């Protein structure tokens, strides 16, 4: 099966699950002729139909050996012998992991430290050499964002455990 | 019109709109100059900050960013043959050739002056066309508004990159995301699964930032470092009067094409810039110079893409149907401040509309000076190592998104949207239909259900209303036309493969 056919299968499955979830939406006495579940169910039907069309289209294209018509520049980047697709996806996953890591630690270590670590980690990950220079740039960047958001814009970014910790120590 | 000037003057003199215009241009130039950071990403990065601003200031800031970014993209296009924005790709062809011959400063000057001219001409059309077109929408009933939303998604899906089916799927998916939260008509919660954060729905601003900005960062994580300008010092050289005369025709060609393409949903600056490049060559006295460093080959596309930046607002402000990613972000900015595009926007908030026109005038006019002043810092920025820039943008996204609701849950949604955007890129799904579905979701559902309330559930209302019928038929024509194009293209390719015996197994 072609890639698009698999995409169609996944979306068809999603449409079915979505319809089931929509069917569970409560009916309200305030509903009119179309309930709150009306549009979601309709969307599930439309998505399912489009998914089937995608599957049929990709199978038809494969059968006629016409290949995928391209109406504009390819949306997906071509595989590169030097940078295979798996490499690209793993790199992207790594970038995402930095974001997830930031979300996990910021409630504990606070915004200033977390943002410095994020900038340092991402810079090294993208290609900067890990060392004093990169650490200094990350530190300055973190300081800049702290001053901009916390001091100037007065946004109450997470402080972490430090106020509680220092309060306990002082107490 | 006199009232319009009055509103514009008041907006410029009593609000920070002037500073927002200039600030937006600076930010846009800097963002547009960075390869991979499109105008829509540059604007999306600002969205969280516009929450606390006055509506006029916020909208002028976003629109000016678009203006600045369209020029900013030409700087790396000329200096390192790497367009900062897609619409600067045509400029890179002759701009880099001029730079190789030591005329880089002249190329930058032509790009700047042509961009200003195209932007100002486009602005005249924007101011002249928007209100009359918006008045057309006065005859719109709920069925017509529903049909308009369907038309918007259908047109964008049929004109977007990738296949029509994928475009429509992206639009439907956007509508699905828009249904998450509390049903506005009955108060029932949908797809929240007990999460209080989802009761208010998924803010489209988070999806926009994730899909545009975060997904780009994920892609850039594996892209090689872009070329640098090195230590070459480039001073901008403005065109002489003689050169201005020579460039008048390509400037007008570019502006005209940009105005037309800007008004068409889905067309955008890239198509306009290449079309104007071709037309300028066709009408040039020296077409043989194109591709070898012709000033006309820079003037036409730059005038075009800056004219687009103004006229792309016509369908956005008149009907609330954004024609490009950038205007989708601008629409998001309007909706954040409770401003629904359409004729009522002119009636209820003329100060915002004419303030926007005034702000755009300031943005285009001031770009002339700002473009010269920020050239050196822009080149410095483009020369910064990519790791530090990417780290700074990631930090800016996380910090900026938190300012909206002070919620880490929002950051989670942004990351999810970013991952989804990355997957969409890899699988060939266009972004714009998804964003449109999300932004227009409420309009479509509310008017769909309102229409059926009026008729007791009879769907024939959508066919009885002449405007609704016309719009739905137009949507059908676009979809069928696009499908037919795809089928013909596939058949042609299949025939070509069979002819040369290179068909895949």
**pLDDT tens-digit profile of B476-498?**
988 888 888 888 877 777 777 67
Q: How many CB atoms lie within 10 A of CB B121?
A: 23
pLDDT category at A76 given cuts 50, 70, 90 is very low
Look at residue B205 in the predicted model and tell me its pLDDT.
84
Q: What is the DSSP letter of B143?
A: H
The answer for residues whose C-beta is within 8 angstroms of residue B87's C-beta and 6 or more apart is B70, B73, B268, B269, B270, B272, B273, B301, B304, B305, B308
Q: Rounded to whole angstroms, how far apart are CA atoms B337 and B42?
A: 19
The contacts of residue B458 (CB under 8 Å, 6+ apart) are B452
Taking the CA atoms of B333, B182, B206 and B166 in sequence, report the sign of the dihedral they define.
negative
CB-CB under 8 Å, B445 with A126: no
Alpha helices (H) along B264-385: 268-283, 296-311, 313-319, 325-336, 343-348, 350-373, 375-382
Write the CA distances from B216 to A64, B42, B174, B425, integer angstroms: 35, 11, 19, 9
- Looking at A34-48, B79-93, B366-380, B458-472, which range is the least confident one? B79-93
Q: Which residue has the tokens 């792309």?
A: B312
On the question of pLDDT at B134 being above 80, the answer is no
Lowest mean pLDDT among A93-97, B230-234, B243-247, B446-450: B230-234
Q: How confident is the model at residue B231 (pLDDT cuts 50, 70, 90)?
A: low
In Å, how far is B281's CA from the nearest CA of chain A?
Answer: 22
pLDDT of residue B229: 60
pLDDT over threshold 60, residue A27: yes
Q: What are phi and psi of B181, to 5 degrees?
A: 125, -155
A157–B402: do the CB atoms touch at under 8 Å?
yes
In whole angstroms, what is the distance from residue B5 CA to residue A159 CA?
Answer: 48
* Residue with more model confidence, B331 or B138: B331
| Measured distance CA(B127)–CA(B135) in Å, rounded | 14
Per-residue pLDDT of B353-363, as tens digits, reads 889 999 999 99
Confidence band, pLDDT 50/70/90 cuts, at residue A109: very high
pLDDT of amino acid B267: 61
Q: How confident is the model at residue B338 (pLDDT cuts 50, 70, 90)?
A: confident
The ipTM of this complex is 0.88
* Domain residue ranges in chain A: 3-64, 85-166
8 Å CB contact of A34 and B187: no
Q: Report how far residue B72's alpha carbon sits from residue B29's, in angstroms, rounded to the nearest whole number.
A: 4
Sign of the four-CA dihedral A11, A16, A21, A25: positive
Neighbours of B73 (CB within 10 A): 37
Give the mean pLDDT of B418-436. Answer: 90
Cα separation of the two ends of chain B: 65
What is the nearest CA distance from A68 to chain B, expressed in angstroms? 7
The whole-angstrom separation of Cα B288 and Cα B438 is 47
Q: Does A55 touch chain B (CB under 8 A)?
A: no
> How far apart are alpha carbons B221 and B419 in whole angstroms?
13
Query: What's the pLDDT at A169?
Result: 65
- Residues B405 and B409: their CA atoms lie apart, in Å, by 9
Average pLDDT in the A48-73 region?
73
* Residues listed for chain B: 505
What's the rounded Cα separation, in Å, for the pair B393 and B203?
Answer: 21
Mean pLDDT of chain B: 86
Structure-token pair, residue B234: 């480039």
- Shortest CA gap A168–chain B (Å): 26
- The DSSP code sequence of chain A is --HHHHHHHHHHHHHHHHHHHHHTSPP-TT--SS-TTHHHHHHHHHHHHHHHHHHHHHHHHHHHT-----SSS-SSPPP-SSS-HHHHHHHHHHHHHHHHHHHHHHHHH-HHHHHHHHHHHHHHHHTPPPSHHHHHHHHHHHHHHIIIIIIIS------TTHHHHHHHHH-
Please judge whether B185 and A102 are an interchain contact, meaning their C-beta atoms are less than 8 angstroms apart: no
Residue spans of the domains in chain B: they are 2-142+202-431
Q: Do B504 and A43 touch (CB under 8 A)?
A: no
Contact A48, A14 (CB under 8 A): no
User: Are the C-beta atoms of residues B288 and B101 closer than 8 Å to each other?
Assistant: no
Q: What pLDDT, on the 0 to 100 scale, is given for residue A170?
A: 63
Secondary structure of residue B457 in the 3-state scheme: coil
A168 interfaces chain B, CB cutoff of 8 Å: no
Contact B452 A34 (CB under 8 A): yes
pLDDT band at A139; cut points 50, 70, 90:
very high
Q: Can you tell me the distance from the alpha carbon of B307 to that of B38, in angstroms, rounded to the nearest whole number? A: 17
Question: Which residues are bridge partners to B181 per DSSP?
Answer: B190
Residue B400: pLDDT over 90: no
Which residue of chain B is at minimal alpha-carbon distance from A31?
Answer: B186
Distance in Å, alpha carbon of B115 to nearest chain A alpha carbon = 25
Average pLDDT of B244-263? 90
Residue of B nearest to A85 (CA): B426
Rounded CA separation A151/A148 (Å): 6
Q: For position B161, what pLDDT does the model report? A: 63
Are B215 and B223 a contacting pair, CB within 8 Å? no
What is the rounded distance in angstroms from the CA atom of residue B379 to the CA atom of residue B325? 26
- Probe site for chain B from A44, A82, A123, A136 (most B CB atoms < 10 A): A123
When scoring A7, A9, A28, A43 by the number of chain B Cβ atoms within 10 A, the one with the most, hence best to mutate, is: A43
User: Nearest Cα to B388, choosing from A48, A19, A127, A62?
Assistant: A127
Average pLDDT over residues B241-248: 90
User: How far apart, in Å, are the Cα atoms of B438 and each of A168, B202, B305, B426?
Assistant: 47, 9, 27, 21
- Whether the CB-CB separation of A56 and B487 falls below 8 Å is answered with no
Contact B163 A68 (CB under 8 A): yes
Name the band, by pLDDT with cuts 50, 70 and 90, for residue B503: very low
DSSP B171-195: HHHHHHHHT-EE-TTT--EES-TT-
A99 to B427: CB separation less than 8 angstroms, yes or no: no
- Percent helix, strand and coil across chain B, each to the nearest 5: 75, 0, 20
Average predicted confidence (pLDDT) for chain A: 85
* Subunit contact A126:B386, Cβ cutoff 8 A: yes
Query: Is B29 or B129 the better-scoring residue by pLDDT?
Result: B29
- Which residues share a beta bridge with B182? B189
Is B224 a residue whose pLDDT tops 80? Answer: no
Q: Is A51 an 8 Å CB contact of chain B?
A: yes
The winner for highest mean pLDDT among A107-121, B132-146, B160-174, B237-251 is A107-121
Say if residue B89's pLDDT is above 80.
yes
* Entry pTM: 0.83
At A82 the pLDDT is 52
Task: Give B-chain residues touching A133 at CB under 8 angstroms.
Answer: none
Q: Is the pLDDT of residue B163 over 90?
A: no
* Interacting residues of A151 by C-beta distance below 8 A, sequence separation 6+: none
Q: What is residue A64's predicted lDDT score, i.e. its pLDDT?
A: 64
Counting residues of chain B whose pLDDT is more than 70, the rounded percentage is 94
Residues of A within 8 A of B503 (CB-CB) are 65
* Nearest chain A residue to B495, by CA: A66
Least confident of B3-17, B220-234, B384-398: B220-234
Per-residue pLDDT, B272: 86
């Amino acid at each position: 099966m072609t890639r698009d056919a698999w995409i169609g299968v996944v979306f068809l499955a999603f449409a079915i699950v979505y319809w089931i979830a929509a069917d569970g939406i409560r009916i309200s006495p305030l509903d009119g002729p179309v309930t709150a579940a009306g549009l979601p169910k309709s969307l599930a039907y439309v998505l399912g139909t489009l998914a089937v069309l995608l599957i049929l289209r990709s199978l038809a294209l494969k059968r006629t050996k016409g290949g995928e018509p391209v109406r504009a520049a390819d949306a997906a980047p071509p595989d590169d012998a030097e940078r295979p697709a798996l490499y690209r996806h793993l790199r992207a996953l790594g970038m995402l992991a930095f974001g997830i890591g930031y979300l996990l630690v910021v409630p504990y270590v606070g915004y200033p430290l977390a943002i410095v670590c994020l900038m340092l980690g991402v810079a090294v990950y993208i290609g900067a050499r890990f060392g004093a220079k990169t650490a200094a740039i990350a530190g300055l960047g973190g300081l800049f964002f702290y001053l901009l958001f916390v001091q100037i814009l007065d946004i109450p970014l997470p402080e972490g455990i430090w106020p509680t910790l220092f309060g306990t120590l002082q107490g | 019109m006199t009232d319009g000037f009055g509103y514009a003057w008041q907006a410029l003199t009593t609000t920070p709109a002037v500073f927002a215009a200039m600030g937006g241009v600076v930010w846009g130039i800097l963002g547009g100059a960075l390869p991979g950071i499109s105008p829509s990403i540059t604007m999306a990065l600002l969205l969280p900050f516009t929450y606390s601003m006055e509506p006029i200031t916020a909208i002028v800031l976003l629109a000016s960013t678009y203006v600045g970014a369209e020029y900013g993209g030409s700087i790396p296009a000329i200096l390192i043959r790497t367009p900062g924005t897609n619409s600067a790709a045509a400029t890179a062809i002759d701009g880099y050739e001029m730079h190789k011959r030591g005329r880089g400063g002249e190329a930058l000057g032509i790009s700047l002056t042509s961009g200003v001219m195209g932007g100002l001409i486009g602005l005249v059309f924007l101011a002249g066309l928007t209100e009359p077109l918006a008045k057309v929408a006065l005859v719109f009933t709920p069925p017509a508004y529903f049909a308009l939303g369907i038309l918007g998604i259908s047109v964008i899906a049929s004109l977007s990159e990738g296949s029509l089916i994928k475009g429509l799927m992206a639009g439907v998916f956007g509508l699905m995301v828009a249904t998450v939260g509390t049903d506005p008509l009955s108060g029932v919660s949908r797809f929240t699964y007990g999460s209080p954060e989802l009761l208010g729905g998924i803010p489209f601003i988070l999806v926009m930032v994730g899909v545009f900005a975060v997904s780009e960062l994920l892609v850039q994580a594996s892209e090689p470092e872009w070329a640098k300008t090195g230590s070459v010092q480039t001073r901008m050289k403005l065109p002489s009067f003689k050169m201005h005369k020579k460039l008048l025709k390509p400037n007008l060609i570019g502006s005209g094409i940009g105005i037309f393409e800007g008004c068409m949903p889905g067309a955008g600056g890239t198509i306009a810039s290449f079309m104007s490049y071709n037309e300028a060559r066709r009408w040039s006295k020296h077409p043989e110079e194109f591709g070898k460093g012709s000033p006309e080959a820079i003037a036409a596309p730059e005038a075009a893409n800056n004219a687009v930046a103004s006229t792309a607002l016509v369908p956005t402000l008149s009907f609330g149907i954004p024609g490009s990613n950038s205007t989708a972000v601008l629409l998001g900015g309007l909706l954040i401040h409770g401003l629904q595009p359409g004729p009522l926007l002119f009636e209820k908030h003329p100060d915002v509309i004419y303030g926007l026109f005034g702000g755009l005038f300031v943005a285009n006019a001031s770009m002339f000076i700002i473009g010269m002043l920020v050239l050196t810092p822009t080149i410095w920025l483009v020369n910064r190592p990519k790791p530090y820039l990417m780290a700074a943008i990631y930090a800016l996204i996380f910090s900026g998104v938190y300012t909206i609701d002070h919620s880490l849950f929002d950051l989670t949604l942004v990351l999810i949207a970013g991952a989804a955007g990355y997957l969409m890129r890899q699988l060939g799904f266009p972004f714009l239909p998804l964003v449109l579905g999300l932004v227009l979701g409420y309009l479509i559902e509310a008017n769909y259900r309102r229409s059926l309330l009026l008729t007791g559930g009879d769907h024939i209302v959508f066919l009885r209303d002449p405007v609704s019928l016309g719009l739905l038929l137009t949507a059908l024509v676009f979809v069928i036309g696009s499908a037919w194009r795809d089928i013909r293209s596939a058949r042609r390719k299949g025939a070509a493969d069979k002819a040369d015996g290179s068909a895949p197994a």
